[in-house]
Amino acid sequence: MDLLSQWTLELTPKCNLKCGMCSLWDSGRVDGQGLLVSLHDGTFFSQFSKKRLINIVGGEPFENPDLSVVLTELKEQGLKIRLWSNGITQPDQWMSIKNTVDGIMIYLPTVFPEDYQLSTGFATWGDFEDSLRFLKKHRLPFSFHTPVSQANLSDLPDFYDYAQSYGVPLCLHYSAREALHPEHEKYILRFLRVKGVSVYKKKTAMPPTVCPALPHGAFEDPYQILKNAFFDQFK
Ligand code: SF4
Protein backbone atom coordinates (compact mmCIF):
# COMPACT_ATOMS: atom_id res chain seq x y z
CA MET A 1 0.00 0.00 0.00
CA ASP A 2 1.40 3.35 -1.04
CA LEU A 3 0.92 5.91 1.72
CA LEU A 4 3.12 8.59 0.17
CA SER A 5 2.70 10.95 -2.80
CA GLN A 6 -0.54 12.05 -1.24
CA TRP A 7 -2.13 14.79 0.73
CA THR A 8 -3.70 14.13 4.08
CA LEU A 9 -6.66 16.20 5.18
CA GLU A 10 -7.55 16.38 8.86
CA LEU A 11 -11.27 16.96 8.65
CA THR A 12 -11.97 17.29 12.35
CA PRO A 13 -10.13 16.64 15.62
CA LYS A 14 -13.35 15.42 17.24
CA CYS A 15 -13.93 11.75 17.95
CA ASN A 16 -16.80 9.58 19.14
CA LEU A 17 -14.49 7.24 21.12
CA LYS A 18 -12.51 7.82 24.28
CA CYS A 19 -9.35 5.78 23.86
CA GLY A 20 -7.05 5.85 26.87
CA MET A 21 -4.08 7.47 25.12
CA CYS A 22 -6.08 10.31 23.61
CA SER A 23 -8.24 13.28 24.60
CA LEU A 24 -9.53 14.35 21.19
CA TRP A 25 -13.08 13.39 22.17
CA ASP A 26 -12.88 16.33 24.58
CA SER A 27 -11.56 18.89 22.07
CA GLY A 28 -14.83 20.81 21.91
CA ARG A 29 -13.95 22.15 18.48
CA VAL A 30 -16.71 23.25 16.10
CA ASP A 31 -15.58 22.72 12.52
CA GLY A 32 -16.03 25.77 10.32
CA GLN A 33 -17.15 26.11 6.71
CA GLY A 34 -13.85 27.40 5.28
CA LEU A 35 -12.86 24.09 3.70
CA LEU A 36 -16.22 23.60 2.01
CA VAL A 37 -16.17 27.15 0.65
CA SER A 38 -12.64 26.72 -0.71
CA LEU A 39 -13.64 23.45 -2.40
CA HIS A 40 -16.73 25.07 -3.93
CA ASP A 41 -14.93 28.13 -5.27
CA GLY A 42 -11.82 26.24 -6.42
CA THR A 43 -9.28 27.96 -4.16
CA PHE A 44 -8.50 24.62 -2.47
CA PHE A 45 -6.85 23.24 -5.59
CA SER A 46 -5.22 26.54 -6.52
CA GLN A 47 -3.29 26.33 -3.22
CA PHE A 48 -2.64 22.61 -3.16
CA SER A 49 -1.70 20.64 -6.22
CA LYS A 50 -3.84 17.63 -7.00
CA LYS A 51 -2.28 14.46 -5.70
CA ARG A 52 -3.36 11.06 -6.91
CA LEU A 53 -4.81 10.13 -3.55
CA ILE A 54 -5.96 11.99 -0.47
CA ASN A 55 -6.17 10.56 3.06
CA ILE A 56 -9.09 11.83 5.10
CA VAL A 57 -8.38 11.65 8.82
CA GLY A 58 -9.69 12.88 12.19
CA GLY A 59 -10.32 12.49 15.17
CA GLU A 60 -13.11 10.55 13.55
CA PRO A 61 -14.01 12.01 10.12
CA PHE A 62 -17.70 11.13 10.56
CA GLU A 63 -17.83 13.65 13.41
CA ASN A 64 -17.75 16.38 10.75
CA PRO A 65 -21.31 16.57 9.38
CA ASP A 66 -20.00 17.81 6.02
CA LEU A 67 -17.97 14.64 5.39
CA SER A 68 -20.01 13.30 2.47
CA VAL A 69 -20.14 16.74 0.79
CA VAL A 70 -16.38 17.20 1.12
CA LEU A 71 -15.75 13.73 -0.30
CA THR A 72 -18.08 14.40 -3.23
CA GLU A 73 -16.23 17.64 -4.03
CA LEU A 74 -12.87 15.86 -3.91
CA LYS A 75 -14.14 12.96 -5.99
CA GLU A 76 -15.41 15.31 -8.67
CA GLN A 77 -11.82 16.50 -9.08
CA GLY A 78 -10.78 12.93 -9.88
CA LEU A 79 -8.97 12.16 -6.63
CA LYS A 80 -8.85 8.75 -5.07
CA ILE A 81 -10.01 8.91 -1.46
CA ARG A 82 -8.86 6.86 1.50
CA LEU A 83 -10.82 7.40 4.71
CA TRP A 84 -9.32 6.57 8.13
CA SER A 85 -12.06 5.70 10.63
CA ASN A 86 -12.41 3.91 13.94
CA GLY A 87 -15.31 2.02 12.36
CA ILE A 88 -17.94 2.96 14.93
CA THR A 89 -20.60 4.65 12.85
CA GLN A 90 -24.15 4.10 11.68
CA PRO A 91 -25.28 2.32 8.49
CA ASP A 92 -26.74 5.49 6.94
CA GLN A 93 -23.42 7.25 7.45
CA TRP A 94 -21.53 4.45 5.74
CA MET A 95 -23.94 4.57 2.85
CA SER A 96 -23.50 8.34 2.53
CA ILE A 97 -19.87 7.81 1.49
CA LYS A 98 -20.19 4.52 -0.40
CA ASN A 99 -19.85 6.05 -3.86
CA THR A 100 -16.96 8.38 -3.05
CA VAL A 101 -14.39 6.39 -1.05
CA ASP A 102 -11.86 4.12 -2.69
CA GLY A 103 -10.69 2.61 0.58
CA ILE A 104 -11.55 2.69 4.29
CA MET A 105 -8.84 2.06 6.87
CA ILE A 106 -10.39 0.78 10.09
CA TYR A 107 -8.54 1.19 13.36
CA LEU A 108 -8.19 -2.22 15.00
CA PRO A 109 -7.04 -1.58 18.59
CA THR A 110 -7.45 -5.19 19.69
CA VAL A 111 -8.84 -8.47 18.45
CA PHE A 112 -9.94 -9.60 21.89
CA PRO A 113 -13.64 -8.82 22.44
CA GLU A 114 -13.24 -8.38 26.19
CA ASP A 115 -10.58 -5.66 25.64
CA TYR A 116 -12.36 -3.57 23.02
CA GLN A 117 -14.50 -1.42 25.28
CA LEU A 118 -11.58 -0.97 27.63
CA SER A 119 -9.40 0.27 24.74
CA THR A 120 -11.94 2.57 23.16
CA GLY A 121 -13.55 3.77 26.40
CA PHE A 122 -16.98 3.62 24.86
CA ALA A 123 -17.91 1.29 22.01
CA THR A 124 -18.45 -2.44 22.39
CA TRP A 125 -17.04 -5.30 20.36
CA GLY A 126 -20.61 -5.96 19.19
CA ASP A 127 -20.86 -2.38 17.80
CA PHE A 128 -17.55 -2.86 16.02
CA GLU A 129 -18.43 -6.18 14.44
CA ASP A 130 -21.88 -4.91 13.40
CA SER A 131 -20.09 -2.17 11.45
CA LEU A 132 -17.66 -4.61 9.84
CA ARG A 133 -20.46 -6.95 8.79
CA PHE A 134 -22.32 -3.99 7.28
CA LEU A 135 -19.25 -2.91 5.32
CA LYS A 136 -18.73 -6.44 4.07
CA LYS A 137 -22.37 -6.94 3.12
CA HIS A 138 -22.53 -3.68 1.18
CA ARG A 139 -19.12 -4.18 -0.41
CA LEU A 140 -17.48 -1.09 1.00
CA PRO A 141 -13.73 -1.60 0.51
CA PHE A 142 -12.06 -1.72 3.92
CA SER A 143 -8.76 -2.77 5.49
CA PHE A 144 -7.50 -2.80 9.05
CA HIS A 145 -4.63 -0.88 10.57
CA THR A 146 -3.00 -1.48 13.94
CA PRO A 147 -0.36 0.43 15.88
CA VAL A 148 2.23 -2.08 17.08
CA SER A 149 4.01 -1.69 20.40
CA GLN A 150 5.77 -3.88 22.91
CA ALA A 151 2.37 -4.49 24.49
CA ASN A 152 0.72 -6.21 21.49
CA LEU A 153 3.77 -7.69 19.77
CA SER A 154 2.94 -11.25 20.71
CA ASP A 155 -0.63 -10.80 19.46
CA LEU A 156 0.31 -10.00 15.85
CA PRO A 157 -0.59 -13.49 14.57
CA ASP A 158 -4.06 -12.99 16.10
CA PHE A 159 -4.39 -9.63 14.34
CA TYR A 160 -3.41 -11.30 11.09
CA ASP A 161 -5.93 -14.12 11.60
CA TYR A 162 -8.65 -11.60 12.35
CA ALA A 163 -7.98 -9.63 9.16
CA GLN A 164 -7.95 -12.90 7.24
CA SER A 165 -11.33 -13.84 8.69
CA TYR A 166 -12.73 -10.83 6.78
CA GLY A 167 -10.45 -11.44 3.80
CA VAL A 168 -8.99 -7.91 3.99
CA PRO A 169 -5.45 -6.46 4.20
CA LEU A 170 -3.77 -5.49 7.46
CA CYS A 171 -1.45 -2.49 7.87
CA LEU A 172 0.91 -2.68 10.86
CA HIS A 173 2.75 0.46 11.96
CA TYR A 174 5.14 1.18 14.78
CA SER A 175 6.96 4.21 16.10
CA ALA A 176 10.67 4.80 15.67
CA ARG A 177 10.51 6.53 19.05
CA GLU A 178 9.40 3.39 20.86
CA ALA A 179 13.00 2.07 20.99
CA LEU A 180 12.03 -1.54 20.39
CA HIS A 181 14.59 -4.26 20.98
CA PRO A 182 16.25 -5.02 17.59
CA GLU A 183 14.91 -8.59 17.73
CA HIS A 184 11.40 -7.29 18.25
CA GLU A 185 11.71 -4.92 15.33
CA LYS A 186 12.97 -7.80 13.20
CA TYR A 187 9.93 -9.78 14.27
CA ILE A 188 7.58 -7.00 13.12
CA LEU A 189 9.43 -6.68 9.82
CA ARG A 190 9.01 -10.40 9.17
CA PHE A 191 5.35 -9.60 8.51
CA LEU A 192 6.47 -7.77 5.38
CA ARG A 193 6.81 -11.20 3.83
CA VAL A 194 3.23 -12.12 4.67
CA LYS A 195 0.70 -11.69 1.88
CA GLY A 196 -1.90 -9.03 2.65
CA VAL A 197 0.20 -7.32 5.33
CA SER A 198 2.04 -4.00 5.05
CA VAL A 199 4.41 -2.58 7.66
CA TYR A 200 5.30 1.08 8.26
CA LYS A 201 7.75 2.67 10.63
CA LYS A 202 6.56 6.02 11.96
CA LYS A 203 9.37 8.52 12.22
CA THR A 204 7.61 11.59 13.55
CA ALA A 205 4.81 12.43 15.92
CA MET A 206 1.42 13.40 14.53
CA PRO A 207 0.09 16.89 15.29
CA PRO A 208 -1.89 16.79 18.54
CA THR A 209 -5.20 17.26 16.72
CA VAL A 210 -4.84 14.04 14.71
CA CYS A 211 -5.83 10.57 15.96
CA PRO A 212 -2.69 9.19 17.63
CA ALA A 213 -3.53 5.69 16.42
CA LEU A 214 -2.71 6.61 12.79
CA PRO A 215 0.61 5.84 11.07
CA HIS A 216 2.09 9.29 11.54
CA GLY A 217 5.41 9.45 9.70
CA ALA A 218 4.08 7.59 6.72
CA PHE A 219 1.68 10.48 6.09
CA GLU A 220 3.99 13.37 6.78
CA ASP A 221 6.98 12.60 4.63
CA PRO A 222 7.25 14.31 2.25
CA TYR A 223 3.77 15.88 2.03
CA GLN A 224 2.18 17.97 4.69
CA ILE A 225 -1.09 17.47 6.51
CA LEU A 226 -3.82 19.92 5.61
CA LYS A 227 -6.10 20.96 8.41
CA ASN A 228 -9.74 21.85 8.03
CA ALA A 229 -9.15 24.67 10.53
CA PHE A 230 -6.52 26.17 8.18
CA PHE A 231 -9.21 27.13 5.68
CA ASP A 232 -11.27 28.97 8.26
CA GLN A 233 -8.66 31.68 8.68
CA PHE A 234 -9.59 33.16 5.28
CA LYS A 235 -13.23 33.70 6.21
S1 SF4 B 1 -7.18 7.36 19.52
FE2 SF4 B 1 -8.22 7.86 17.60
S3 SF4 B 1 -10.08 6.57 17.68
FE4 SF4 B 1 -9.31 6.69 19.77
S5 SF4 B 1 -10.35 8.45 20.75
FE6 SF4 B 1 -8.43 9.21 19.90
S7 SF4 B 1 -8.99 9.97 17.86
FE8 SF4 B 1 -10.61 8.59 18.53
The whole-number pLDDT of residue 216 equals 67
pLDDT < 70 positions in the chain:
1-5, 28, 49-51, 204-206, 216-235
Pocket of ligand 1 (CB under 6 A): 15, 17-19, 22, 24-25, 59-60, 86, 107, 211-213
| CA 63 / ligand 1 centre spacing (Å) | 12
**What pLDDT does residue 139 have?**
96
CA of 186 to the centre of ligand 1 (A): 28
DSSP per-residue letters across the chain: ----SEEEEE--S--S---TT--GGG------SHHHHHHHHSHHHHHSPPPSEEEEESS-GGGSTTHHHHHHHHHHTT-EEEEEE-S---HHHHHHHTTT-SEEEEE---S-HHHHHHHHSS--HHHHHHHHHHHHHTT--EEEEEEE-GGGGGGHHHHHHHHHHHT--EEEEEEGGG---HHHHHHHHHGGGSTTEEEEEE-SPPPTTS-TTS-HHHHHSSSPEEEHHHHHTT-
What domains does the chain contain, in order, with CATH numbers? 6-232 (3.20.20.70)
CA of residue 220 to ligand 1 center, whole Å: 19
Which of the listed residues 11, 12, 18, 19 should we mutate to test ligand 1's pocket, taking the one with most ligand atoms within 8 A of CB? Answer: 19
What confidence score (pLDDT) does residue 83 get?
A: 95
Write down the pLDDT at residue 234.
Answer: 46
